[in-house]
Amino acid sequence: MSVPSATDPASPIQWHDRFVRELPADPDTDNESRQVAGAAYSRADPTPVAAPRMVAWSPEAAAQVGLCDAHLKRSDWLEVLAGNRVMPGMKPYAACYGGHQFGNWAGQLGDGRAITLGELVGVDGRHFELQLKGAGPTPYSRMADGRAVLRSSVREFLCSEAMHHLGVPTTRALSLVRTGDGVMRDMLYDGRPAEEPGAIVCRTAPTFLRFGSYQIHMARSDEDTLQALVAYTVRHHFPSLLSEPDAPIDADVVHALFAEVCRRTAVMVAHWMRVGFVHGVMNTDNMSILGLTIDYGPYGWIDHYDPEWTPNLTDASRRRYRYGHQPNVAGWNLIKLAEAFFPLVGVADGLSRGLDVYRDTWYAEQQGMVAGKLGLLDYRPETDAPLWSDLLDAMQLVETDMTLLFRGLADVSSAVMAPSDRLAALRPAFYMALTPQHEAAWSAWLERYVARVAVDGRDDAERRAAMHSVNPLYVLRNWLAQEAIEQAERGDSTRVQALLDVVRDPYTERPGLEHFAGKRPEWARHKAGCSMLSCSS
């Protein structure tokens, strides 16, 4: 895979500080937990760690911010990415934000363990923030330690890059560093805390602003800071919404901003549904204003298709953030963002038009996604809506691997194939033997599918290629990440590297990678880290 060229590693790095320079700062510079009013951020330096060691980095994420392998191999960069060195020009800070957690307003949250070092300009001229997650306490840490464990850091590092290569809007991960320090965690919240290896991910994004970044100022009736933050957001991140660069940020602009966030959020969630991703903690502080997937915590990937599934142990009883509920939750979160923007516009009509954009975009994207996953040239509601919902029903008759089912479906050819061969193409996706009734149900559905495909009249090979371009073969299955984590915890990062290579090209079947395209093994069915994850990280 080719990686775009980057800056010469010998030339000095030019750090930028737009966020720090242009937005209201916390005047207090003490690194003590506290409420921070009237500010978008607090300056906070990373706390040094004992013995940093590079575990892995992403060459593509490096290139995007103008770095290259030579930088990532240097000891001064290792020190930077571990939080042990602040380079000239960096102005590290922690952002202030609030959020609704599991439907309830939680007040001030903020970057309790994330510290943005500064901004770099990539080869395409775009600014990217470099942010260390797990770099030590900040004024937003409350009672917690500001650190992150290796297992959750491996998961964030790999999944950020996996999502990017799947074509899903996401924050990126530049590097994964072990700190050499231990971190105490009660992983399953069952009163058995243990020391785990600490780690830091350096993640990148044009901005890490979240819905909660705006909500906090509305909640505090601080319209000045809210206005300043919205103006900053539009001028730097949505400049196309302005008729000219210094046009005023009036109600029309706020409406346009909200509508665009609605549109992007719908697109993002449709991608999640396409690839079988469950975010797991869609709190409003975990919703990016850019419509990027952000804050990889107890996320998971659908193995056997079950719209009720959530990987998040903390949410196991209510399942607010289950796979099938994600489009609704995103809509709910957007309503909270609309409430945050309300003081700037005074009337609700324009914002409610944004919510219409969300709904319309979601339906359009969902229909496109259905057509794409089924290999249809276009979406015909009369036939394709029932074809799709009956497929989802069939996938729940017996445990059916979502990823493998759609890959298998691409092999079903329309005309010449015997009905039993059609079903044979799907067999690798089933977790158990089919009964005659199941076989009859699947055969009947396949009959309809083949008839529908015939209406398009598209060549089988062409349909297969199109289906393979939207239905991935290699996704970051929970148990695959867990295998890599257990090996990394023993000091061997070979599997982390191998998985990174696999997820860099998720749509192309490659010999030798059968393990990474496999169904969930039985050992992973009920194992912590695979079928259930806690927020402890």
Output the smallest distance, CB 143 to ligand AMP, in A.
Answer: 8
Gap between the terminal Cα atoms of the chain: 32
Asked whether position 129 contacts ligand AMP by CB under 6 A, the answer is no
Residue with Cβ nearer ligand AMP (97 or 442) = 97
Site string for ligand AMP, 144-163 (x = CB under 6 A): xxxx----------------
Asked whether position 314 contacts ligand AMP by CB under 6 A, the answer is no
Distances (CA, A) of 157 to 132, 141, 250, 515: 12, 22, 39, 21
535 binds, among Mg ion, ligand AMP, none (CB under 5 to 8 A by kind): ligand AMP
Helix runs in 316-400, H state only:
326-345, 349-374, 381-394
Q: Distance (Å, rounded) from C-alpha 318 to C-alpha 186?
A: 22
Name the residue with tokens 């971190």.
183
Looking at 120-128, 143-151, 376-384, 497-505, which segment touches ligand AMP (CB under 6 A)?
A: 143-151
Q: How is residue 5 written in tokens?
A: 């060229």
Residue with Cβ nearer ligand AMP (173 or 259) = 173
408 binds, among Mg ion, ligand AMP, none (CB under 5 to 8 A by kind): none
Asked whether position 320 contacts ligand AMP by CB under 6 A, the answer is no
Q: 205: which strand partners?
A: 129
267, 275, 269: which is closest to 473 by C-alpha? 275
Which of 84, 116, 204, 286 lies at the binding interface for Mg ion (CB under 5 A)? 286
Clarify whether 295 is annotated catalytic: no
Number of residue whose CB is nearest Mg ion: 295
Q: 132: which strand partners?
A: 115, 202
The catalytic position among 222, 285, 303, 401 is 285
Yes or no: say if 358 and 265 are a contact pair by the CB < 8 Å rule.
Answer: yes
Yes or no: say if 407 and 468 are a contact pair by the CB < 8 Å rule.
Answer: yes
Yes or no: say if 189 and 534 are a contact pair by the CB < 8 Å rule.
Answer: yes
Asked whether position 281 contacts ligand AMP by CB under 6 A, the answer is yes
Distances (CA, A) of 447 to 384, 412, 471: 14, 11, 21
E strand or H helix at 175, and its extent? strand 172-185
Output the smallest distance, CB 134 to ligand AMP, in A.
Answer: 8
Query: What one-letter code names the amino acid at 105?
Result: W
Asked whether position 295 contacts Mg ion by CB under 5 A, the answer is yes
357 binds, among Mg ion, ligand AMP, none (CB under 5 to 8 A by kind): none
Which of 71, 100, 113, 422 lies at the binding interface for ligand AMP (CB under 6 A)? 113
**By the criterion CB under 6 A, which residues form the site for ligand AMP?**
109-113, 140-141, 144-147, 281, 285-286, 295, 297, 535
Contact residues toward Mg ion (CB under 5 A) are: 286, 295
